[in-house]
Amino acid sequence: MSKFHLKDRQFVTYIIFILGAAVLLGKLMALQLFSGDYEYLAERNAMKKEMVYPVRGSIFDRNGELLVANQRSFDLMVTPREVKGLDTAKFCQLVDISKERFVKTMKRAQRYSRRLPSILIKDLKKAQGISLMEQMHQYPGFYLQERTAREYPIPAGANVFGYISQIPRFLMEKDPYYLPNDNIGRTGVEKSYEEVLRGTRGKKYILRDVHNRTKGSFQAGAMDVPAIPGEDLTITIDMKLQAYAEKLMINKIGSVVAIDPSTGEILSMVTSPGFDPNMLVGRDRSKNYNLLNEDPAKPLFDRALQGQYPPGSTFKLINALIGLQEGVISTNTSFKCNNGWYFSPKLKVGCHAHQSPLDLRNAIAQSCNAYFCYEYRRILEKSNDIELDYQTWYDHVRSFGLGNYLNNDLYVGKRGLVPSIKYNDARMPFRWRAPTLISLAIGQDALLATPIQMANMCAAIANRGYYYTPHILKSTSGSFEADSTFSERKYTSIDKKHFGPIIDGMQMVVENKKGTAKNARIKGIEVCGKTGTAENPHGKDHSIFIAFAPKDNPKIAIAVYVENAGWGSSYGSPIASLMIEQYLNDTISRPQLEARMINANLLEDGTD
């Protein structure tokens, strides 16, 4: 019995041995006869996996003008573990880098990883990259990674486009898509539409010989994954108008925003002072960014979206509409003005000299402070319940998109401020009343709006009671589509019938001989506007103007805000009217006015 079990166990052992040998032999035959993987096993130390960066989508203006293009660029990569026998001085001379910077960068690469590649020099220009490519085989551990860098054919619109940079760690930790050497849109359209523009990375496997020279693709590229280019964007900006506005705003601080009222498309969005977008491309990007960031005029601060200002007398239009809607005035209501509105010796609002009394249309045309103070008090005392009446006023104002984010596709913005009941209670421990808040009648007090909100407010008036969300994307070259809500009308709380007399008053601002913006007249175009002068406790008042044209079927609504420039008619209305003429007529009939605006230097001495 024991002999039987012994023989049985020996037999099983022989079978297992034979089967194991057969499996090994079969695997060896498969590797040698049916697969090229043995080549990889033999040469794995000479194979490199390189990232293939996609071509980032280009950006065009509404007329097909190329605004943001791509140029060939290279990053010099290093894998610290593979660096051997390096002549540091010779290498630094070759790549045009100081020894101190080289040592610092190498230490940073070693801290990151000794076995993984990282960037030694970023954004080498095309010519330098191609020249270095022929010599990289002499320097084990170093190689060139090809990618594209941005290029701006027109040196304008920097705040609109934004810029891209190497992704910081805190952003990379939020999104698993990104790797340490990736670029990402940081501001402007580049940030808002990053996922559309960036495309999808690919990869390729490269064989190198013992001298670090490229032998070709591994397995004839069978394992390579092609990069998918990003989609091209067509944005709503009219670049000719944008560049013209920036020219008019040279040596001035402020903003210009123009919108097509019929669509909500942003035609121009200027912040001043600005900068050439090419400054934030290439090896000098960091140096130039620091210069811009330290500039006391704050060129990196987008005043069009983030500047919060009192709307001044432009806000009288909203109060006039609310007064008509609430029935506290009619178009024929008139008030006397004795150089202003007086409640007590300590509480008064002054006004410039003009004819008195005035009806509603003329009060708008001549910007009478007293008229709107009397009218505002009627709004807040309609029912003798101050909180009820104030809330009614507050809700009307908010319906014009003021005091809230517009929920657009712009990467940044401020909500402005329409003081609420709670806000008033917090800042006024005593019981507040209409006279206490009288500065709101003329767009002052705590009221704040951004230039894009003011342009949108003007568009809502031009449309007789509705607006479209201001937005920057028009179309793409691929499947991505703009937010469908951008094509939906947002209605104000004011009935359409009340806008006619307000628009008549705005036309009188420009065309009436006593109007406050006679210098905004354009032959053959009915311009409707409103001047504003916002008080500035820190210096000269701010010049404001909002306008739209033509009066019927308007094609452009605009807001101009020039800091420390005085009356609204000093700079606001001339700049706005020149832009309207440029957009509608594609020519300028008032070269002297144009030259005066372009040559005015408010940064130098505050005068023209």
Rounded to whole angstroms, the Cα distance separating 369 from 444 reads 11
Q: Determine the structural domain holding residue 214 and report its residue range.
A: 53-235
In a domain, 292, yes or no: no
**Would you call 371 exposed, middle or buried from its count of C-beta atoms within 10 A (0-12, 13-18, 19+)?**
buried
In a domain, 394, yes or no: yes
Three-class secondary structure of residue 56 per DSSP: coil
Rounded to whole angstroms, the Cα distance separating 319 from 324 reads 9
Rounded to whole angstroms, the Cα distance separating 149 from 372 reads 54
Q: What is the model's pLDDT at position 594?
A: 97
Rounded to whole angstroms, the Cα distance separating 404 from 410 reads 14
C-beta separation of 465 from 492 below 8 A: yes
Task: Give the residue, 2 or 318, on which the prediction is more confident.
Answer: 318
pTM of the model: 0.87
Residue 487 confidence (pLDDT) above 90: yes
Strand partners, 187: none
Residue 433 shares a structural domain with residue 493: yes
In a domain, 38, yes or no: no
Structure tokens at 160: 């609109």
Residue 231 shares a structural domain with residue 244: no
Rounded to whole angstroms, the Cα distance separating 8 from 398 reads 93
Residue 361 shares a structural domain with residue 433: yes
In a domain, 191, yes or no: yes
Looking at residue 371, its amino acid is Y
High-pLDDT (> 90) share of the chain, %: 65
C-beta separation of 542 from 536 below 8 A: yes
Residue 228 shares a structural domain with residue 245: no
Residue with tokens 């230097």: 601
In a domain, 134, yes or no: yes
Residue 224 shares a structural domain with residue 342: no
- Average pLDDT estimate for 472-500: 96
Residue 217 shares a structural domain with residue 247: no
CATH of the domain at 566: 3.40.710.10
Domain boundary among 235, 255, 287: 235
In a domain, 450, yes or no: yes
Closest by Cα among 349, 456, 441 to 408:
456
Domain boundary among 235, 264, 286: 235
Instruction: Kindly report, residue by residue over 416-474, the tens digit of the pLDDT.
Output: 999 999 999 999 988 899 999 999 999 999 999 999 999 999 999 999 999 999 999 99
Domain boundary among 180, 215, 235: 235
Q: What is the model's pLDDT at position 219?
A: 65
Q: How many domains does the chain have?
A: 2
Instruction: Kindly report, residue by residue over 161-193, the tens digit of the pLDDT.
Output: 999 998 898 998 899 899 887 899 999 999 999
Angle between helices 386-398 and 316-325 (to 10 degrees): 120
Rounded to whole angstroms, the Cα distance separating 259 from 281 reads 29
R_g of the chain computed on alpha carbons: 33
**Least confidently predicted of 52-56, 330-334, 471-475, 569-573:** 52-56
Q: Is the previous residue joined to 168 through a cis bond, with omega within 30 degrees of 0?
A: no
Residue 212 shares a structural domain with residue 344: no
Three-class secondary structure of residue 319 per DSSP: helix
Residue 251 shares a structural domain with residue 169: no
Residue 209 shares a structural domain with residue 255: no
Rounded to whole angstroms, the Cα distance separating 363 from 431 reads 31
Residue 211 shares a structural domain with residue 265: no
Residue 290 confidence (pLDDT) above 90: yes
Q: Where are the alpha helices (DSSP H) in 302-430?
A: 303-306, 316-325, 360-366, 369-380, 386-398, 421-427
Residue 513 confidence (pLDDT) above 60: yes
CB contact set of 35 (below 8 Å; sequence gap of 6+) = none
CATH of the domain at 185: 3.90.1310.10
In a domain, 253, yes or no: yes
Residue 213 confidence (pLDDT) above 80: no
Strand partners, 146: 74
Residue 502 shares a structural domain with residue 370: yes
**Average model confidence (pLDDT) for the chain?**
89
Residue 582 confidence (pLDDT) above 90: yes
Looking at residue 149, its amino acid is A
Q: Is the dihedral of CA 588, 589, 591, 596 positive or negative?
A: negative
In a domain, 336, yes or no: yes
**Least confidently predicted of 170-174, 221-225, 563-567, 580-584:** 221-225
Residue 185 shares a structural domain with residue 61: yes
Give the model's confidence band at 268: pLDDT under 50 very low, under 70 low, under 90 confident, else very high: very high
Q: What is the model's pLDDT at position 603?
A: 87
